[in-house]
Structure 1
């Protein structure tokens, strides 16, 4: 995919340049993403772990607004809903960062009580076309919604 490596490097550099004292809004801006919330992981549910990739979900309660952010998971974060409304889905990226260190938290290591930032980043442009969305959109993972794509910048 043309430009993927350059984009990954740019994201990595932007992330590495962040101060751990950066505000959630500043983190989202630096990574060219959208802040979905900042708060505590209140629940993590995993099921189907006997399969190659278990399914699950987690709930984060935003510290400021008290909105509930539910994230559907497999081996990655697939879709996020805020107060029951889907707001972003694969192939865009739902990213969960440790609030204290700003380091990414993988699906298999997230735990109840973690303090996190939840961000959405536009996915690679190559996957955002109709003929490819069937392979990487929410329905490809058994989720019953159409892709919810962010505006790419």
Structure 2
């Protein structure tokens, strides 16, 4: 197996949300407008402390690409993918670049990302009362509707009693 060497970065760092292994710097982000299954994803010019999976052809929103999944060297969790090849000429700029799924990493300020958080940032302010659901990692204000969606998406069994407790506050 060998010895594991982990590179520590300095500056505005993106890291694994499970083991806090460093992946990349904010300065190495090419684009913050990518999308993946879990919401936002960032295109990085370079990343560190990842291992590569097997090459595979994958149909994405922008066409067929040859990609390899990338895994955290610290805990082994999948954190995104690397573009090996793009068939469309307009997509060639992605080759050799890395996608880190925002849902799977901690931001430069240590914040986590969720699908609900993304939905809240888009659109106008709601008339629904907002509460801070402190059981979540990100401590963002959520509506009861948001909590129900989170329950449906994650099937976590602690949410129903929490939702009931919050509902009693109104």
Q: Same fold (TM over 0.5)?
A: no
Greater relative CO, 1 or 2 (CA 8 Å, sep 6+): 1
Give TM-score scaled by structure 2 length.
0.25
Q: Looking at CA atoms only, which structure, 1 or 2, has the larger radius of gyration? A: 2
Give TM-score scaled by structure 1 length.
0.26
